[in-house]
Amino acid sequence: MKFANIAAAAAALTLVAAPVAAQAAPARVAAPVTEEASNLEGENSIVLYLLAAAAVVVAIILIADDNDDPVSA
């Protein structure tokens, strides 16, 4: 009987404490946005596109590889 009372009290305490803990979380400040914030454009963008395309081609080749050998003997 005593364990049931302790379990009920613990459950009630967590129900009360959860909204308080969520409300006490500090708000996150947004980072300032400037014109120079984006470094994605520039001289290396073509190289990055080619590397991404090559990665996609390699992934397709690895997925479509015909290595469906049976596991059983």
Cα(16)–Cα(10) distance, integer angstroms: 10
pLDDT tens across 47-64, in order? 888 899 999 999 888 888
pLDDT tens across 14-29, in order? 777 777 666 655 677 7
DSSP letters for 9-59:
HHHHHHHHHHHHHHHTSPPPPPPP--TT---SSSTTHHHHHHHHHHHHHHH
Other C-beta atoms lying within 10 Å of the C-beta of residue 25: 7
Model pTM above 0.85: no
